[in-house]
Amino acid sequence: MTTGAAKKDKSATSSRIQAERRKQLIEATMTVIADHGLSNVTLAKVAGEAGLTAAMVNFHFSNKDSLLLETLKFVSDEFNEQHDKAIQNAKGDPIQALNDVIDVQFDDRLSDPRRLTVWYAFWGESQAREEYQQVCGESDRADEAAFLELFRALIRLEGKPELDPEALSLAFQGMLDYLWQGLLVTQEQNSREMRKQQCRAFLASIFPKSFGKPKSAPKPTQPAAQPQTGKWHCLAHLEDVQENNGSWTDKDVGGKAVHLQLSPDGQCLATSLPDNQPLPVRTAEGLIFVRV
């Protein structure tokens, strides 16, 4: 191997390793956001989650804001790539396009709780919305335009000029967002398949020729191995708890009194009162949910 070829091969290997390290740190950042909330992310927590040193984080990302924006961009890009591919592969067929978009929307990997938390964390915290628009604004507008064209095509296909394509497009997108958000707190085993069927039932109720008669969505089932008890309740907004010296008490959450405390490292800890039993906690969109 010549000296030039050896240098080229070494450079390619170095670039690959750096790309892998950046992805490793981004994956760790997703986990930290899901566990601690966007405002409580620190480079030390990310480094610890990734099993790397803080110096390694600083080598790949200039600061925390850079790391957070790259994490949002990573989640957005991988979702948009599959979303756009679903529409393009349909080659103008609105039925196939919408069916494939539904599958992408509730894909196990693309809609895993960590990725969903990243989406809603940026949207839910006021100081992060500008960054969200910076990364996702253009793709969101492109999605809105694409959905509008799909519904226009469906209306022509079914011969229903009295229908409003813009209203239907917005309703469908709202349904996708609502069902997507529900995955943050649901524990049902077949929740993704249930949501897919709910979306197709909505389309079938308006376009029966294209999507057939609407079918009832399957009832959710609980995992047999590890049954979950209780329901998720929205307890408070994270900013309100922070402004209240990191402490919050609600006397009626699912029939129980619940106390919430933010630990020094920003973790949300919930206990039932008066027995002080620990309760599961999850944050999303700047809101704190407790299962009781």
pLDDT digits (tens, 9 = 90+) for 67-96: 999 999 999 999 999 999 999 999 999 999
Residue of 113, 123, 122 whose CA lies nearest to 192: 113
pLDDT digits (tens, 9 = 90+) for 274-284: 888 888 887 76
**Does 43 reside within a domain?**
yes
Q: How far apart are CA 181 and CA 41, in angstroms?
A: 21
| Statement to judge: residues 119 and 201 lie in one domain | yes
Domain range for 239 is: 232-291
| Statement to judge: residues 56 and 156 lie in one domain | no
| Statement to judge: residues 196 and 91 lie in one domain | yes
Q: How far apart are CA 186 and CA 291, in angstroms?
A: 10
Structure tokens at 98: 């919408």
**Does 5 reside within a domain?**
no
- Please determine, for residue 28, whether its predicted confidence score (pLDDT) is greater than 80: yes
pTM of the full structure: 0.68
| Statement to judge: residues 51 and 96 lie in one domain | no
| Statement to judge: residues 105 and 186 lie in one domain | yes
| Statement to judge: residues 92 and 110 lie in one domain | yes
| Statement to judge: residues 279 and 259 lie in one domain | yes
**Does 226 reside within a domain?**
no
| Statement to judge: residues 59 and 176 lie in one domain | no
User: In the predicted model, what is the mean pLDDT of residues 99-108?
Assistant: 95
**Does 170 reside within a domain?**
yes
| Statement to judge: residues 79 and 36 lie in one domain | no
Q: With bands split at pLDDT 50, 70 and 90, how would you rate the model's confidence at 224?
A: very low
| Statement to judge: residues 51 and 83 lie in one domain | no
pLDDT at 4: 57
**Does 95 reside within a domain?**
yes
E strands, the chain, where?
A: 232-237, 247-253, 256-262, 268-273, 278-279, 281-284, 287-291
pLDDT digits (tens, 9 = 90+) for 191-201: 899 999 999 99
Point out the domain boundary residue: 66, 93, 108: 66
**Does 222 reside within a domain?**
no
| Statement to judge: residues 61 and 81 lie in one domain | no
**Does 59 reside within a domain?**
yes
pLDDT digits (tens, 9 = 90+) for 227-242: 445 677 777 777 778 8
Q: With bands split at pLDDT 50, 70 and 90, how would you rate the model's confidence at 39?
A: confident
- Please determine, for residue 265, whether its predicted confidence score (pLDDT) is greater than 60: yes
Point out the domain boundary residue: 8, 37, 66: 66
Q: How far apart are CA 96 and CA 126, in angstroms?
A: 37
| Statement to judge: residues 85 and 161 lie in one domain | yes
pLDDT greater at residue 123 or residue 3: 123
- Please determine, for residue 14, whether its predicted confidence score (pLDDT) is greater than 70: no
Point out the domain boundary residue: 33, 48, 66: 66
Q: State the total domains in the chain.
A: 3
The CATH number given to whatever domain includes residue 24 is 1.10.10.60
Q: Kindly report the average pLDDT of the chain as a whole number.
A: 84
3-state secondary structure of 257: strand
3-state secondary structure of 147: helix
The CATH number given to whatever domain includes residue 87 is 1.10.357.10
Find the range with the poorest average confidence among 38-42, 104-108, 141-145, 150-154: 38-42
**Does 277 reside within a domain?**
yes
- Please determine, for residue 18, whether its predicted confidence score (pLDDT) is greater than 90: no
